[in-house]
Amino acid sequence: MLLTSELENTFLKRGFLKFESGLDSELIKQWRDEALERIGYRREREEEWSIDLLWMDHHRKALVSEIAPDAWTLLTEIVGGEEKIEKQTMGIESKHFTTINSFYWSDSFIINFQYGKEKPWQHPQSQGFNWHVDGSYFRHFLDSREQALLVIILWSNVETKHGGTFIAEDSPNLIAETLMENPQGIDPSEFDFQNIADQCKNFIEITGNAGDMFIIHPFMLHASSQNHSQIPRVISNPPIILKEPLNLDPDSVNHSLLEKATLNYIQGRNWVQPKPEKRSSYWWVID
């Protein structure tokens, strides 16, 4: 078991964990280099490159349990077991990946080449960034299964000012409050993310080495940051989807760590699970 009491307490307190995924360095380099070659990027001709941010679809895929077994074990322990994770492949309409299968990681990279390089670098803060939570493919409820965890995998070294994702550590409580106030659910376009970000005080820049992963509560606001390094920052963020909504009955036993954290955010207040017909997922089953 990898989910120690220290990791559990950190997730409950901060809403995220940093963990070495165990991805092989040669696999990281191969997938990253192939992706850059596929889109025609050449470092020696960087001055001709005009793209700031690029979202890529899948090209290579592999089972997480095979290429990063410890990472997979930790992810499954956080959500309460592998048997709770959706096995079907889902199709979605997105500018990023077009299918989701939680059991696989892929080279559906988000590459930050030079976003915001023409402006002075801004520290993590509420103003000036596209704060959001992920999930354009479903109507959001407090117990939504469609984005159980936000996982960010670094496929390149990311130092400060290198385009690392910004997160607002104190935002999950506010997202939970918003969802409590909207028991009928919220479409992705209906969130007022900027207003929520303006209420936050604790902003963090994600940095680390290639192969590091961040396991983040899905209510965590995050945003792209400027890349002043002249080195492409390569990450991926494969969703974890569950078979069923979260169990947020406070009287139940054996809550997962994810459920415990979500219950903490609502601080014991009563919440009624939405009826099945109220839920909307804008995806379809591939297999």
- For residue 94, the domain's CATH number is 2.60.120
pLDDT of residue 272: 81
Task: Note whether residue 9 is domain-resident.
Answer: no
Sequence letter at residue 159: E
Task: Note whether residue 128 is domain-resident.
Answer: yes
Task: Note whether residue 18 is domain-resident.
Answer: no
Other Cβ atoms within 10 Å of 88 Cβ, number: 13
Q: What are phi and psi of 266, to 5 degrees?
A: -95, -5
Task: Report the first-to-last Cα separation within the chain, whole angstroms.
Answer: 31
Task: Note whether residue 146 is domain-resident.
Answer: yes
d(CA 237, CA 239) in angstroms, rounded, equals: 6
pLDDT of residue 44: 63
Task: Note whether residue 58 is domain-resident.
Answer: yes
Across the chain, which has 287 residues, the per-10-residue mean pLDDT values are: 95 98 98 95 77 95 98 98 96 89 97 94 96 94 96 98 98 97 92 97 98 98 96 96 94 94 91 82 80
Task: Note whether residue 159 is domain-resident.
Answer: yes
d(CA 104, CA 254) in angstroms, rounded, equals: 27
In the chain, count of helices (H) and strands (E)? 7, 14
User: How many domains is the chain built from?
Assistant: 1
Domain membership of residue 234 as a residue range: 27-269+278-285
Q: Residues for the chain: how many in total?
A: 287
Residue 107 contacts residue 57 (beta carbons within 8 Å)? no
Query: What's the pTM value of the predicted model, to 2 decimals?
Result: 0.95
pLDDT of residue 163: 97
Residue pointed to by tokens 């303006």: 198
Dihedral over Cα of 5, 6, 9, 15: its sign: negative
Task: Note whether residue 13 is domain-resident.
Answer: no
Closest CA to 278 of 134, 87, 149, 144: 144
CA distances from 75 to 149, 193, 203, 242, 256 (A): 9, 27, 24, 12, 11
Residue 63 contacts residue 104 (beta carbons within 8 Å)? yes
Residue 171 contacts residue 196 (beta carbons within 8 Å)? yes
Burial call 43-66: b when 16+ CB within 10 Å, e when fewer:
eeeeeeeeebebebebeebbebbe
In this predicted model, what pLDDT tens digit does every residue of 126-152 receive, in sequence order?
999 999 999 999 999 999 999 999 999
Task: Note whether residue 149 is domain-resident.
Answer: yes
Residue 210 contacts residue 84 (beta carbons within 8 Å)? no
pLDDT of residue 203: 98
Q: Apex CA 95: angle with CA 90 and CA 98, to 5°?
A: 20
In this predicted model, what pLDDT tens digit does every residue of 254-283 receive, in sequence order?
999 999 999 999 987 888 888 888 887 888
